[in-house]
């Protein structure tokens, strides 16, 4: 079918895109691509990968079955009447029926009963979905235009940030253990949506929202932002990786590691940090405008601050801006609330970042 026609080309394009992105310097002017996943056939339901998925799908199928049944019934009657009672002559007599109490009662009561059944089923599943078990692992999610920041209170020091052009994992969870997400946003509304788990919850600035799920299959699953949040809403995606419980902790620590590789220069390490810690969400490298100042030509530049004083951008200013960003704000960026990376980046990482910035001439 048509899917055959498209599938190989999609796979080609996706592979090329990933390869290209990995090789080139990130260019945020074009939208970064979401990691391509296995192309299911175009008419399939998403995989069932959580304990909720099956019951949600069952209710979905039940409603579909009922809908199809009633639709066929109604349309069947309609087409049948269209054929049988088509106007054949100008003098065709029509019936004087105006109503029928019995039929009208039946076709009000039966749908009402069915709707109550559907409501009750949905509500029962909803109660399960809104009551996390006591032994759930807590994960904190912070949404920020346009990236997810995930940390694990039970595993201090682990921060995951979704990068936008590497197939990096946004969140890791163990299979078969309930996981509770405690979520908030730093700026506008976002929404955490994993189709394969059939879960979704908004991230609201100024308060915490919670949701929970238990993954049932090992694998990688698409994560989407499902509440419009501005320019890069479409690319605020990521991947939730489900691992066997034994491998979970080790994998978590490995993924969270952001250390300079043996063959890597500080500048390249800085480039990885730029993507991994979400700097690329606000600072471009090609002079194009972003939420924050571009890094092209930044080092050594004379900047005017919001108070009117000027300074030359040097190592100290960069370090200060990373750790306490709101002390010396460049004029025009007063309303942008850059979060502090105190505790999230160590000295080595900050130095590497500074090297990277220096290289953006």
Partner 1 sequence: MATPDKHSATDGAHAREPSFYTSKRGLMSWIITLDHKRLGMMYLAGTMFFFLIGGVAALTLRTELLTPELDLVTSATTYNKLFTVHGAVMVFLVIIPSVPAALGNFLLPLMLGAKDVAFPKLNLLSFWIYTLGACFFIYTLFAGSLDTGWTFYTPYSSNGGAQGTAVISATFGAFILGFSSILTGLNFLVTVHKMRAPGLTWNRLPLFVWAIYATAVIQILATPVLAITLMLLIIERTLNIGIFDPAMGGDPVLFQHFFWFYSHPAVYIMILPGFGIISELVAVHSRKHIFGYKAIALSSVAIAIISFLVWGHHMFVSGQSELAGVVFSFLTFAVAVPTAIKVFSWVATLYKGSIAFNTPMLYALAFLFTFTIGGLTGVFLGALSVDIHLHDTYFVVAHFHYVMMGGTIIAFIGGLHHWWPKMTGRMFNEAHGRWGCLIVFIGFNMTFFNQFIVGQQGMPRRYATYVPQFQLQHVLSTIGSYILGLGLFWTLFYLLRSLKTGAQATDNPYGGASLEWMTQSPPIEHNFHGQPRVDTDPYNFPQIDRSGGMDHH
Question: By CB under 8 A, what part of segment 202-231 binds partner 1?
Answer: 202, 204-207, 209, 222, 224-231
Query: Which parts of 319-348 interact with partner 1 (CB under 8 A)?
Result: 335, 337
**Number of C-beta neighbours around residue 274 at 10 A:** 22
Interaction of residue 30 with partner 1, rule CB under 8 A: yes
Cis omega (within 30 of 0) for bond into 146: yes
Interaction of residue 136 with partner 1, rule CB under 8 A: no
CB 125, min distance to partner 1, A:
4
Strands 238-243 and 171-174: parallel
- Residue 29 has which token pair? 């002017």
CB 136, min distance to partner 1, A:
17
Query: Which parts of 68-107 interact with partner 1 (CB under 8 A)?
Result: 70-71, 74-75, 77-78, 81-82, 85-87, 90-100, 103-104, 107
Among 136, 189, 255, 311, indicate the residue that binds partner 1 (CB under 8 A).
Answer: 189
Burial (CB < 10 A; 0-12, 13-18, 19+), residue 329, is buried
CB 189, min distance to partner 1, A:
6
Site string for partner 1, 230-269 (x = CB under 8 A): xxxxxx-x--------------------------------
Contact 35, 18 (CB under 8 A): yes
Q: What is the distance between the alpha carbons of residues 26 and 216, in angstroms, rounded to a whole number?
A: 35
Q: Which is nearer to partner 1, 87 or 361 (CB)?
A: 87
CB 249, min distance to partner 1, A:
29
Whole-number Cα distances in Å, 161 to 20, 236, 256, 314 = 21, 11, 9, 27
- Residue 157 has which token pair? 């020091």
DSSP letter at 330? Answer: B
Q: Which is nearer to partner 1, 92 or 263 (CB)?
A: 92
Q: What is the distance between the alpha carbons of residues 131 and 212, in angstroms, rounded to a whole number?
A: 8
CB 267, min distance to partner 1, A:
29
| Size of the chain in residues | 361
Count of residues in contact with partner 1, rule CB under 8 A: 100
Among 10, 16, 22, 331, indicate the residue that binds partner 1 (CB under 8 A).
Answer: 10
CB 345, min distance to partner 1, A:
25
Q: Which is nearer to partner 1, 22 or 40 (CB)?
A: 40
Q: What is the distance between the alpha carbons of residues 256 and 157, in angstroms, rounded to a whole number?
A: 8
């Amino acid at each position: 079918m048509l899917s055959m026609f498209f599938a190989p080309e999609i796979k080609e394009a996706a592979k090329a895109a990933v390869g290209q992105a990995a090789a080139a310097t990130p260019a945020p002017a074009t939208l970064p691509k979401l990691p391509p996943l296995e192309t299911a056939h175009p008419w399939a339901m998403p995989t069932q990968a959580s304990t909720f998925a099956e019951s949600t799908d069952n209710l979905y199928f039940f409603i579909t079955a009922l809908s199809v049944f009633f639709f066929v019934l109604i349309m069947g009657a309609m087409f049948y009447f269209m054929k049988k009672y088509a106007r054949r002559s100008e003098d065709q007599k029509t019936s004087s029926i105006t109503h029928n109490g019995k039929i009208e009662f039946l076709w009000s009561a039966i749908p009402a009963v069915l709707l109550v059944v559907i409501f009750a089923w949905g509500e029962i599943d909803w109660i399960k979905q809104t009551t996390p078990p006591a032994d759930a692992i807590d994960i904190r999610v912070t949404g920020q235009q346009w990236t997810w920041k995930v940390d694990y209170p039970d595993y201090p020091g682990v921060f995951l940030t979704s990068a936008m052009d590497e197939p990096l994992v946004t969140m890791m969870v163990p299979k078969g253990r309930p996981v509770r997400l405690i979520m908030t946003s730093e700026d506008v509304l976002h929404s955490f949506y994993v189709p394969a788990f059939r879960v979704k919850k908004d991230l609201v600035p100024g308060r915490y929202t919670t949701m929970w799920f238990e993954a049932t299959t090992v694998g990688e699953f698409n994560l989407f932002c499902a509440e419009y949040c501005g320019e890069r809403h479409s690319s605020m995606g990521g991947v939730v990786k489900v691992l066997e419980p034994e491998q979970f902790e080790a994998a978590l620590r490995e993924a969270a590691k952001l250390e300079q590789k043996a063959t890597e220069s500080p500048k390249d390490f800085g480039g990885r940090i730029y993507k991994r810690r979400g700097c690329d969400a606000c600072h471009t490298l090609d002079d194009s405008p972003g939420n924050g100042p571009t890094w092209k030509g930044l080092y050594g530049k004379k900047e005017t601050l919001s108070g009117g004083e000027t300074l030359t951008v040097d190592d100290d200013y960069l370090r200060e801006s990373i750790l306490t960003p709101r002390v010396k704000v460049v004029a025009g960026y007063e309303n942008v609330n850059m979060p502090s990376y105190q505790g999230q980046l160590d000295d080595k990482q900050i130095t590497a970042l500074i090297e990277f910035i220096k290289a953006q001439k």
